[in-house]
Amino acid sequence: MSAPPSTSQDRSTADGIEARILDAARTQFELFGVKKTTIGDVARQADVDRGTIYRRIGSRDDLVRAVSAREVGALLAELEGIPSRHESVEAIVAEIFVTVITRWRTHGLINRVLALEPGRLLPQVTTEGGAFFTAAVATTATLLSEATRQRGLPEIPDLTTRVEIAGRVVHSLILQPVGTLNLESEERLTEFARGYIVPLIVG
């Protein structure tokens, strides 16, 4: 006898359980770091059994990837709201740049893991971070293309390439914040974006 088809309520319940697990994992990672967090710790925090975590998410490394993916998704969702706040594409580009940098700098989990276990996080944003980077480039290029079209402006040539180059600048500033550039405040970041990132993308 076949199992009954899943309903929207079943999917909502499953999504809720996974969200609880990821919330718990993020809390544990922030408090104790990844290395000192066990599946049992996350299970107790989420009020589920260990088997539920293994079935729905996987191992501790899978939890790290899932939490990272969700945080990236939340940032990309935030970027989608930026175009509606500005009339010019230049202002949109500047705010996207500032938002990405500041969210990284102020992210509790990222700062905690970087302080305690930089070797665990760095692969997620470098050698193993291709999917996240590609998604960020695609989302940003789509946002800017749509914003340009809605404002009746000419299409920006090679937009995806321009966005990827800008993304690599952002990536470098995040991973190596120390240098001769003074980008400590949002005002400085905005000034830098308008002087260098906006011309790179908009021309």
pLDDT digit string, tens, across residues 125-135: 666 668 889 99
Asked if the structure places residue 170 within a domain, the reply is: yes
Tell me how far apart the alpha carbons of residues 163 and 171 are, in angstroms, rounded to a whole number: 12
**Confidence band (pLDDT; 50, 70, 90) for 6?**
low
Among 58, 74, 92, give the residue marking a domain's end. 58
Are the CB atoms for 98 and 78 separated by under 8 Å?
A: no
**Confidence band (pLDDT; 50, 70, 90) for 117?**
confident
Q: Can you tell me the mean pLDDT for 50-61?
A: 96
Query: According to the model, what pLDDT value does residue 1 have?
Result: 45
In this structure, the answer to whether residues 134 and 197 fall within a common structural domain is yes
In this structure, the answer to whether residues 92 and 188 fall within a common structural domain is yes
Whose CA is closest to 136, among 160, 108, 106, 113?
Answer: 160
DSSP code of residue 84: G
In this structure, the answer to whether residues 144 and 175 fall within a common structural domain is yes
Q: Can you tell me the mean pLDDT for 18-41?
A: 94
Query: According to the model, what pLDDT value does residue 119 have?
Result: 74
**Confidence band (pLDDT; 50, 70, 90) for 174?**
confident
CA dihedral 131, 137, 139, 140 (to 10 degrees): 160
Q: What is the CA radius of gyration of the chain?
A: 20
Query: According to the model, what pLDDT value does residue 9 have?
Result: 57
CA distances from 51 to 21, 47, 59, 90, 162 (A): 12, 12, 10, 50, 45
pLDDT tens per residue across span 57-72: 999 999 998 998 899 8
What is the overall mean pLDDT for the chain?
89
Tell me how far apart the alpha carbons of residues 125 and 100 are, in angstroms, rounded to a whole number: 14
Range of the domain at 37: 7-58
CA distances from 139 to 30, 53, 122, 144, 167 (A): 28, 30, 22, 9, 12
Whose CA is closest to 103, among 22, 170, 172, 191?
Answer: 170
Among 17, 33, 58, give the residue marking a domain's end. 58
Q: Which two tokens stand for residue 45?
A: 């925090």
Task: Give me the number of domains the chain comprises.
Answer: 2
DSSP code of residue 154: P
The more confidently predicted of residues 142 and 171 is 142
Query: According to the model, what pLDDT value does residue 131 have?
Result: 86
In this structure, the answer to whether residues 52 and 77 fall within a common structural domain is no
pLDDT tens per residue across span 72-101: 899 999 999 999 999 999 999 999 999 999
Asked if the structure places residue 1 within a domain, the reply is: no
Of the chain, the percentage scoring pLDDT greater than 70 comes to 88
